[in-house]
Structures are given as structure tokens and as C-alpha cells.
């Protein structure tokens, strides 16, 4: 596991309609009806596949941001103030309007292909 990158949380929905989040292997107690659900019932192979995909997505996002930062830094080293601000603006617009939505959609599709609905029995 990468330091600083947490594991994806599991969303749990109780039979009473309450919703909560827990990590794999944790026990979640419904705040409304006090039923307890143990997430260790989820197959660890399925969860590890989702966890690995999530980590790859985060690494790819940071790598893209790093490349954009390097481009802006290169422009900044030339010492041209107008180029620095325009390069930063173009990089930010490119990241938030074009690159990040595409990467996020691909990640969401990949996770939905791996995600299953597990029926955990309350304890």
C-alpha cells in the first residue's frame, strides 16, 4: 500500500434505510436500529482488486498533476510573467475541464465493473 493513500471505504445500507461507511474488516453498527454488520464477510480478493484499481487511479492523477506542474515550472524558469500566469491558467483549465473528468469517468467505469453488491447479514 502507498503511504498516505487510504483504502476505499465500503458503503453500507442497513435494512432500516440508514447508510454508513466502514473499512474492510471493520464492524459497523447502524445508528438507527443498532444492527451490526461485519465487513470482513466481503471476499478479500474482490476488495483487493478494487483497492488496487483505486491506488492506480490516484497515482495516475498525481503523475498528471506532476507533469502539468513541471510544464508550469519550466515556463516560470524563463522569467516571463505573462507566460507564467497564462501557462498556469491553461494548465489549470486543462486539468479541471478536460483531463480530470475523463480520468474520473474511466475510473468510475472500471470500479463499477469490479463492484458487486454483497448482502451482509447483521450480527
- Tens of pLDDT along 38-97? 888 888 888 888 888 888 888 888 898 888 788 778 877 887 777 777 777 887 888 889
SS3 68: helix
* 1 confidence band (pLDDT: 50, 70, 90): very low
- Which residue in the block uniquely carries the three cell numbers 483497492? 51
pTM of the model: 0.67
Q: How much of the chain is helix, strand and coil, in % rounded to 5?
A: 60, 10, 30
Arithmetic mean of pLDDT, 11-27:
89
Can you give the pLDDT at residue 44?
84
Of 5-9, 16-20, 47-51, 102-106, the poorest mean pLDDT is in 5-9
Looking at residue 22, the DSSP 8-state letter turns out to be: E
Can you give the pLDDT at residue 5?
59
Amino acid at each position: 500500500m502507498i503511504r498516505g493513500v487510504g483504502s476505499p471505504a465500503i458503503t453500507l445500507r442497513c435494512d432500516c434505510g440508514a447508510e454508513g461507511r466502514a473499512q474492510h474488516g471493520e464492524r459497523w453498527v447502524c445508528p438507527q436500529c443498532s444492527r451490526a454488520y461485519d465487513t470482513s464477510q466481503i471476499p478479500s480478493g474482490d476488495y483487493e482488486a478494487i483497492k488496487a484499481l483505486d491506488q492506480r487511479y490516484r497515482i495516475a492523477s498525481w503523475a498528471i498533476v506532476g507533469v502539468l506542474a513541471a510544464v508550469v515550472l519550466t515556463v516560470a524558469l524563463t522569467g516571463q510573467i505573462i507566460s507564467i500566469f497564462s501557462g498556469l491558467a491553461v494548465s489549470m483549465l486543462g486539468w479541471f475541464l478536460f483531463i480530470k473528468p475523463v480520468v474520473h469517468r474511466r475510473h468510475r467505469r472500471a470500479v463499477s465493473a469490479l463492484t458487486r453488491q454483497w448482502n451482509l447479514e447483521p450480527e
